[in-house]
Structure 1
């Protein structure tokens, strides 16, 4: 399980790094064309905004891998260990349901709808840029399952230590 998590995390980190470098390079190109060449590059601005959206959603998947999504620890931390584990698993199940319904199902729907539209500057189907929604939904679902397995293992390990 850790092999899968590590491989996905390395891939997402690499994509985030490449995306960031591309955004910086394209923004520099945009500034150069606007102020030096006096002929602004509209396609680079559009591509940077799509890359930013991709980087944000892929970053959200990385946060899910680290179990860094929103929670209210002040309530859960005061509970006994058994109840805490139940709430941790419940939180992961909520994240799984959100990823399945909103990101995967909704993402597929909007991607299909947007395939008929093209971007103004790039001339690419808008749906291509929306593919990140179901992709990140699937990644989040994988990570939440791995998180639930880790939570359950830590419960089993705790019981072994107590015995």
Structure 2
């Protein structure tokens, strides 16, 4: 399980990093074309906005893997260890359900719907850029299952096993 988590986390870090670097390069390119060449690049602005969405969703999957998603620890910390475990598992199940319903199911629906539309500057089907929603939904679901396994084994808050 730890190898799966590490491989996923490494792949997501690389994808999010490449996306961020591409956004920086494309934004610099756009500034250069707008102010130096006096001929703004419209395709780069559009691509940066899609890359930003990808980086955000990939980052959200990383946060899910670290069990860093929204919670209220002050309430859970006042409970007994057994109840803390139950509440932590419940939180992971809520994250799993959200990922399954909103990101996977909703993401597949919106992706299919958007395949009939073309981007204005890039000339690519919009649905290609929406594929990240169901992809990250599946990643979140995998991470929540891994998190539940870690919680059951007595893992720590950040998804790592206790020593």
Question: TM-score, normalising length from structure 1?
Answer: 0.94
**For 1:79-158, what aligned pairs fall within 5 Å after superposition?**
79-154=79-154
**For 1:34-53, what aligned pairs fall within 5 Å after superposition?**
34-53=34-53
1:154 aligns to what SS in structure 2?
coil
1:59 aligns with 2:55: no
2:154 aligns to what SS in structure 1?
helix
2:74 aligns to what SS in structure 1?
helix
Task: Mark the structure with the bigger radius of gyration.
Answer: 1
RMSD (CA atoms): 0.7
Q: Residue 158 of structure 2 aligns with which residue? A: none
The 2-side partners of 1:96 and 1:45 are apart by 33
Structure 1 residue runs of 5 or longer lacking an equivalent are: 156-163
Structure 2 residue runs of 5 or longer lacking an equivalent are: 156-163
Any runs of at least 4 consecutive aligned residues in structure 1 with deviations exceeding 6 A, and if so which?
none
Question: TM-score, normalising length from structure 2?
Answer: 0.94
Count of aligned positions = 155
Higher helix share: 1
1:10 aligns to what SS in structure 2?
helix
The 2-side partners of 1:63 and 1:151 are apart by 16
Q: Residue 159 of structure 2 aligns with which residue? A: none
Q: Residue 5 of structure 2 aligns with which residue? A: 5
Q: CA deviation at 1:19?
A: 0.6
